[in-house]
Amino acid sequence: MSQHTSDNQTNAADNFIKYEKIKNVFKMFIDHAEYLIDDRAFERCETASVKEQFSIKIDSIRKSIGVDSMEDVNMLVTVFYEFEANFQKEMQTKFDEEMKALDDAAIEGGN
């Protein structure tokens, strides 16, 4: 396999992951912040396909939160995914500390 083909596959995979992250963030907004979708968008969704409904709702949410460019979308996605990573890290640290405390208590109780 040539380097060019490998680079294309890497770029395709990166683009797919980027797209999925964007889709996931907006799906979260649709599922948990429906109030960001205006009434007109809901009306337009009544006669739209599922794919069109998703697009209509995304457009409405973007307008509501002031996301005007792809750069803004990328920043939004980065913020959400960094928050999730930091939250997971904090939860793991807390879990590790609690497990250590239990281990220490068990050792003390055994003496």
- Note the pTM of the prediction, 2 decimals: 0.66
Judged on CB neighbours under 10 Å (0-12, 13-18, 19+), 42 is middle
Neighbours of 37 (CB within 10 A): 20
Q: Say how many domains are in the chain.
A: 1
Q: List Cβ neighbours of 63 (8 Å cut-off, separation of 6 or more).
A: 38
Reported as a single tens digit per residue, the pLDDT across 17-35 is: 889 999 999 999 999 999 9
Reported as a single tens digit per residue, the pLDDT across 63-99 is: 999 999 999 999 999 998 888 777 888 889 999 999 9
Tell me how far apart the 2 most distant CA atoms of the chain are, in Å. Answer: 72
8-state DSSP, 34: G
Using alpha carbons, select from 62, 45, 64, 61 the residue that is nearest to residue 53. 45
- The whole domain housing 28 covers 3-110
